């Protein structure tokens, strides 16, 4: 059994040590807001936060999470920056198909948490690993800037 | 005059007959009964054999990518052609199922197969020659305990005269040691165990020691580093600048047993395989013994420029985990853009590794080598390893990016993480793709 703290709740899961965290979240715990995209940490759709830092859950063996707190898109609205990001996302209607957006929101809220006033360069560095096939990048950038001012 | 001609002729004939006997006389078989009597039997023998088979890393060469372990068929591209590793499962037709104990020991010690033919030294018998007969027999017992696999290895493709196996008898005479590694009474038991594991089992020198004109290990430059099949096997002598002389014991132990050491990066390529298949299965005592021995190998200064400076480059110090220094980000460039999109989410910008410590690049020789040899290979082929933190892997980017893109990425990574000026060209990447 592996002990995890997910969105503030203590969980105990009976899974192999090297099962990716994404599998545990979606298939074992049932939190399906986090998406499977590429499976090789190249698209960012599976981004969740460990102690507030963004990680790619598709390649993260669950045993390596340890005592760090897992936050998924289901609970990010409860954090100050997550709340601002989600509101800006709604205000600017960032989302098109939506598949990548839970990952985008997790990366964007982590960015604002550590850098309340990011430059374009900071946004590029933090967000380039999250790709969007609908091409909503300009709205994502605008929404991050709006959230920063909120 | 006639008499002189006759004498010369006679001498020539005697020499020719002598050489012919040397080349074609059937090779005698060793007597292994004394060693066999000292071994345990049953499962105890098989267990010992399993440990030693791992220590000797037989699986790395005798298995194709994704193939059945020990069924052979892996290609070795040498300057004079390609040889394929044979099937060493106990299959009677295509493997070694018919081999006697003595034949197996002779193969490991002298590079001669069950039919008396010479084997090619791509099989590291010049190292295994140092193995005790007991250990060789235990390895055979383990291999024979596994299910036989029917698999014919492809035929070797070697040019003349290298396809004439008997020529290797000269090579063996010159370059293959006789008998197990002698104990050095002046050294500790731990050192002697380490020497045995390093030389006779792990055969580190087969990759890390340069080869001479005859493609034999040049032990006057022991562990000075070499290049093979498009990868560098770095200098692992005790030289402080170009070797491992400045590594701490803890770093060496971690690197060998876990494939990663804080401040030294992670093992990839063939070294990653050596850790994954072999070294991580060894006991902590054996790993420590190897470290004790390797540290005493005399320093060899090599010309290799893969040198890690004690002080990390300014570009690295000015970066955070999530962003490069502001001026570097503003400069942009193709390499930075690619790193930003494809690499930064796991590796991070400050060299500490974001996703996992295995992704930490700071201090790795691979990001400090201006030739970019291993860096390009890792980007093209990716890496994977079983670790105490679960399976770690990096995807292969060969099909994702062009030669121009990978060259730009390589140059950027070397500048950012190593502070090194490099000039990797798209042609270098194209060449690496074929190796």
DSSP secondary structure string, B63-87? B-TTSPTT-B--EEEETTEEEEPPP
Residues of chain B with C-beta less than 8 angstroms from the C-beta of A44: 345
- The answer to ipTM > 0.85 is yes
Question: B337 CB near a chain A CB, below 8 Å?
Answer: yes
pTM: 0.92
Least confident range from A17-21, B15-19, B37-41, B149-153: namely B15-19
Distance CA A35, CA A22 (A): 8
Q: Which 105-124 residues of chain A touch chain B by CB within 8 A?
A: 111, 114-115, 119, 121-122, 124
Instruction: Give yes or no: residues A6 and A63 share one domain.
Output: yes
The answer to whether the beta carbons of residues B194 and B293 sit under 8 Å apart is yes
Output the six-digit token pair for A145. Answer: 């800037």
Rounded to whole angstroms, the maximal C-alpha distance in chain B is 92
Option in A44, A121, A131 nearest B330 (CB): A121
User: Does B330 reach chain A within 8 Å, measured CB to CB?
Assistant: yes
- In the structure, what pLDDT confidence band is assigned to residue B160 with cuts at 50, 70 and 90? confident
- Count of CB pairs separated by less than 8 Å, A with B: 68
- Establish if A53 touches chain B: CB-CB under 8 angstroms: yes
Distance CA B50, CA A57 (A): 35
Considering the domain architecture, whether residues A53 and A81 belong to the same structural domain is answered as no
In chain A, residues with a C-beta closer than 8 Å to the C-beta of B355 are: 41, 55-56, 59-60
Partner-chain residue, chosen from B324, B330, B355, that has the shortest CB–CB distance to A41: B355
Superfamily of domain B314-434, CATH level 4: Cytochrome c-like domain (1.10.760.10)
Mark whether A89 and A66 lie in a shared domain.
Answer: no
Q: What is the dihedral of CA A144, B345, B250, B298, to 10 degrees?
A: -130
CATH number at residue A31: 3.10.20.30
Tokens of B420: 């090194």
B355 contact A CB<8A: yes
pLDDT(B1) > 80: no
What pLDDT shows up at residue B27? 83
What is the model's pLDDT at position B99?
97
Report percent pLDDT > 90 for chain B: 80
Domain count, chain A: 2
Closest CA to A106 of A135, A82, A136: A82
What is the distance between the alpha carbons of residues A93 and A102, in angstroms, rounded to a whole number?
14
Q: A66 and A104: one domain?
A: no
**Beta carbons within 10 angstroms of residue B430's beta carbon:** 13
Q: Which long-range contacts (CB under 8 A, 24 or more apart) does A39-43 make?
A: A40/B393, A40/B395, A41/A129, A41/B345, A41/B346, A41/B355, A41/B395, A42/A129, A42/A131, A42/B342, A42/B395, A42/B400, A43/A100, A43/A103, A43/A130, A43/A131
Contact residues for B307 (Cβ-Cβ < 8 A; gap 6+): B241, B242, B365, B368
State how far residue B230 is from chain A, nearest Cα, in angstroms: 25
> If you measure CA to CA, which chain B residue comes closest to A53?
B354
What per-residue confidence (pLDDT) applies to A26?
98
A55 chain-B contacts, CB cut-off 8 A: 354-355
Report the distance separating Cα B326 and Cα A121, nearest Å: 7
A145 in the same domain as A81: yes
Q: Where are the beta strands (DSSP E) in B80-129?
A: 81-84
Question: So what's the pLDDT on residue B265?
Answer: 96
Q: Answer yes or no: do A42 and A83 share one domain.
A: no
Higher pLDDT, B209 or B387: B209
Pairing of strands B231-233, B226-228: antiparallel
How close, in Å, is residue B93 to chain A by CA atoms?
Answer: 39
Q: Are B22 and B169 a contacting pair, CB within 8 Å?
A: yes
Which pLDDT score is estimated for B230?
93
B155 closest CA partner among B97, B66, B85, B70: B85
Enter the tokens of residue B5.
Answer: 């001609």
Is A67 found in the same domain as A8?
A: yes
Write the DSSP symbol of residue B211: B
- Whether B162 shows a pLDDT value over 90: the answer reads no
Nearest-CA distance B357 → chain A (Å): 10
d(CA B324, CA B344): 10
**pLDDT score at B149:** 96
Secondary-structure percent of chain A, ordered helix, strand, coil, rounded to 5: 45, 15, 40
Best of A50, A59, A104 to disrupt the B interface (most B CBs within 10 Å) is: A59
Q: Residue A102 belongs to a domain with what CATH number?
A: 1.10.150.120
A60 plus A92 within the same structural domain: no
Last residue of a domain, which of A71, A99, A125? Answer: A71
Best B330, B390, B416 member to test A by mutation, with max A CBs in 10 Å, is: B390
B403-431 mean pLDDT? 96
pLDDT over 80 (residue B309):
yes
Q: Please indicate, yes or no, whether residues A84 and A46 belong to a single structural domain of this protein.
A: no
Q: Is B357 on the interface with A (CB under 8 A)?
A: no
Say yes or no: A90 and A128 in one domain: yes
SS3 category, A8 = coil
| Arithmetic mean of pLDDT, B199-221 | 95
The CA distances from residue B142 to B40, B93, B136, B356, in Å, are 13, 19, 10, 36
Q: Do B391 and A61 touch (CB under 8 A)?
A: yes
**Same domain membership, residue A87 and residue A129:** yes
The answer on pLDDT for B127 being more than 90 is yes
Put simply, whether A40 touches B (Cβ < 8 Å) is: yes
Mutate to test the interface with B, among A21, A42, A46 (most CBs of B within 10 A): A42
Q: Which two tokens stand for residue B23?
A: 């080349």
Rounded Cα gap, residues B144 and B224, in angstroms = 37
Query: Does B314 lie at the interface with A, CB-CB under 8 angstroms?
Result: no
Distance from CA of A65 to the nearest CA of B (A): 9
A59-68, B320-329, B379-388: least confident range: B320-329
Strands, sheet with B157-158, edge to edge from the N-terminal-most edge strand: B75-78, B81-84, B157-158
Q: From CA B347, how far away is CA B350, in angstroms rounded?
A: 8
Q: B124: part of which helix (H) or strand (E)? A: none
Query: Is residue A7 a contact partner of residue A74, using CB atoms and an 8 Å limit?
Result: yes
User: What is the Cα–Cα distance from A122 to B154, expressed in whole angstroms?
Assistant: 54
Looking at beta carbons, which residues of chain A come within 8 Å of B329? 121-122, 124-125
Across A138-142, B24-28, B148-152, least confident range: B24-28
Residues B356, A60: C-beta atoms closer than 8 Å:
yes
Q: What is the mean pLDDT of residues B91-110?
A: 97
Residue given tokens 């132990």 in the structure block? B253
CB contacts, 8 Å: A62 with chain B? 390
Partnered with residue A4 across adjacent β-strands are: A11
| Residue that the structure tokens 């052609």 belong to | B81
Pairing of strands B157-158, B81-84: antiparallel
Asked if the model's pLDDT at residue B390 lies above 90, the reply is no
Q: Would you state the pLDDT for residue A74?
A: 98
The answer to whether the Cβ–Cβ distance between B340 and A59 falls below 8 Å is no
- Each residue's pLDDT tens digit, B43-62: 999 999 999 999 999 999 99
Identity of the residue in B326, B340, B390 whose CB atom sits nearest the CB atom of A63: B390
Q: Helix, strand or coil for residue A140?
A: helix
Spatial CB neighbours of B33, under 8 Å, sequence gap ≥ 6: none
Residues A83 and A53 in one domain: no
- Which pLDDT value is given to residue B384? 92
Q: Is the pLDDT of residue B250 over 90?
A: yes
The DSSP line for A17-29 is TTSBHHHIIIIII
Domain boundary among the residues A19, A46, A71 is at A71
Domains of chain B, residue spans: 26-175, 189-294, 314-434
**For residue A80, is pLDDT > 80?**
yes
Lowest mean pLDDT among A33-47, B197-211, B234-248, B306-320: B306-320
* Residue-range definition of the domain harbouring residue A36: 2-71
Question: pLDDT tens digit string along B9-38?
Answer: 888 888 888 888 877 788 889 999 999 999
Distance (Å, whole) CA B74 – CA B196 = 27
């Amino acid at each position: 059994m592996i002990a995890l703290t997910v969105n503030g709740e203590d969980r105990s899961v009976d899974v192999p040590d090297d099962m990716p965290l994404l599998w545990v979240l979606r298939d074992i715990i049932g939190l399906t807001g986090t998406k499977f995209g590429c499976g090789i940490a190249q698209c960012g759709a599976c981004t969740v936060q460990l102690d507030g830092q963004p990680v790619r859950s598709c390649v993260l063996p669950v045993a390596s999470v340890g005592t760090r707190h897992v936050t998924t898109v289901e609970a990010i609205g409860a954090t100050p920056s997550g709340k601002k990001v989600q509101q800006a996302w709604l205000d600017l209607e960032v989302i098109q198909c939506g598949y990548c957006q839970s990952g985008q929101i997790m990366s964007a809220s982590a960015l604002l948490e550590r850098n309340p006033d990011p430059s374009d360069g900071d946004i590029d560095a933090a967000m380039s690993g999250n790709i969007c096939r609908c091409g909503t990048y300009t709205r994502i950038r605008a929404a991050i800037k709006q959230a920063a001012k909120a | 005059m006639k008499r002189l001609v006759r004498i010369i002729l006679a001498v020539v004939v005697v020499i020719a007959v002598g050489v012919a006997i040397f080349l074609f006389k059937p090779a005698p078989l060793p007597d292994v009964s004394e060693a066999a009597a000292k071994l345990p039997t049953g499962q105890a023998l098989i267990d010992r054999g399993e440990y030693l088979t791992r220590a000797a890393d037989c699986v790395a060469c005798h298995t194709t990518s994704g193939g059945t372990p020990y069924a052979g068929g892996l290609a070795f591209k040498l300057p004079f052609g390609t040889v394929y590793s044979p099937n060493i499962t106990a299959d009677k037709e295509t493997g070694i199922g018919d081999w006697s104990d003595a034949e197996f020991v002779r193969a490991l010690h002298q590079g001669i197969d069950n039919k008396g033919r010479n084997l090619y030294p791509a099989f590291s018998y010049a190292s295994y020659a140092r193995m005790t007969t007991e250990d060789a027999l235990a390895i055979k017992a383990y291999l024979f305990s596994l299910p036989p696999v029917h698999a014919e290895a492809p035929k070797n493709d070697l040019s003349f005269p290298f396809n004439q196996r008997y020529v290797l008898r000269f090579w063996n005479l010159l370059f293959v040691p006789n008998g197990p590694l002698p104990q050095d009474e002046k050294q500790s038991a731990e050192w002697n165990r380490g020497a045995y594991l390093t030389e006779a089992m792990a055969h580190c020198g087969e990759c890390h020691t340069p080869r001479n004109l005859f493609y034999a290990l040049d032990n006057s430059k022991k562990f000075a580093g070499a290049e093979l099949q498009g990868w560098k096997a770095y200098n692992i002598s005790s030289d402080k600048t170009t070797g491992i002389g400045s590594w701490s014991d803890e770093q060496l132990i971690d690197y060998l047993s876990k494939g990663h050491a804080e401040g030294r990066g992670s093992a990839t390529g063939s070294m990653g395989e050596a850790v994954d298949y072999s070294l991580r299965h060894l006991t902590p005592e054996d790993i420590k013994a190897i470290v004790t021995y390797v540290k005493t190998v005399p320093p060899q200064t090599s010309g290799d420029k893969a040198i890690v400076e004690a002080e990390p480059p300014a570009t690295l110090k000015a970066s955070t985990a999530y962003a490069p220094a502001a001026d570097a980000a503003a400069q942009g460039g193709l390499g930075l853009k690619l790193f930003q999109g494809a690499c930064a989410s796991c590796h991070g910008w400050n060299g500490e590794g974001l996703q996992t410590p295995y992704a930490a690049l700071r201090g790795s020789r691979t990001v400090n080598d201006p030739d970019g040899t291993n860096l390009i290979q890792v980007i093209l082929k990716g890496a994977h390893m079983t670790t105490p933190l679960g399976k770690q892997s990096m995807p292969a980017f060969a099909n994702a990016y062009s030669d121009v893109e990978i060259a730009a990425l390589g140059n950027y990574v070397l500048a950012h993480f190593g502070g090194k000026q490099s000039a990797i060209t798209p042609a270098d990447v194209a060449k690496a793709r074929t190796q």
